[in-house]
Structure 1
Amino acid sequence: MPPMPIAQPPSITAHDRALPLFADRLAERRRFLRYLHAAPPRERMLFFHGDGGNGKSLLLKLLMQGYCRRLPAADWARLDASADDRACVTGYQVLRWWVSSP
């Protein structure tokens, strides 16, 4: 009987496993939120570019899954007034669930 191949564990960088572990890119997430909440909506697209392997696809997947809900204008204005990207992004993550709750 031939030897059985050793199964490789899934890579930690595979998108489905890496998304919950995604960290940083706070300035880029905030920029996306500013585009999302712009009133009137901007007429230009937002592009992320850079060398391959830097996490652009993972960032876009993160934005698609967790950052496409608009907040009430007053809530967004309060968050965006913060000079700290982390405070803004964290506040958005908390409020998006609060606003979307029944």
Structure 2
Amino acid sequence: MKSKRLPTQDYIGPQIKTLSILIEKKMNAQLVANGINLTGTQISILAFLYDHQKTVTQKEIELKFKISHPTVRGIIRRLVALNLVETTTSDQDRRQILLILSTQGQNL
């Protein structure tokens, strides 16, 4: 017996992705309206760093938030430019980028 395939518009995956994008856009707009020029993802990463109160690797951020390496790198560069995060490299593995909240990031 041949199985029936649902039309593409009936797949729940694309609908969830669309909903996620809409929620993120709404949240970012509300942040800007409240004078906070950070995205929801940037705030989530700052909160993650604050909760850990220690250095965290960029790789840990990638895995925790399921974000690609180049995307995380861009986010971290912007947070460093805003003096919210500081980066160093690991003494054991120079490829590892270590992240820690700056004083300004902790006070946010």
Normalized against structure 2, the TM-score is what? 0.30
By relative contact order (CA 8 Å, sep 6+), the higher-ranking structure is 1
The structure in which a higher percent of residues are strand is 2
Normalized against structure 1, the TM-score is what? 0.32
The structure in which a higher percent of residues are helix is 2
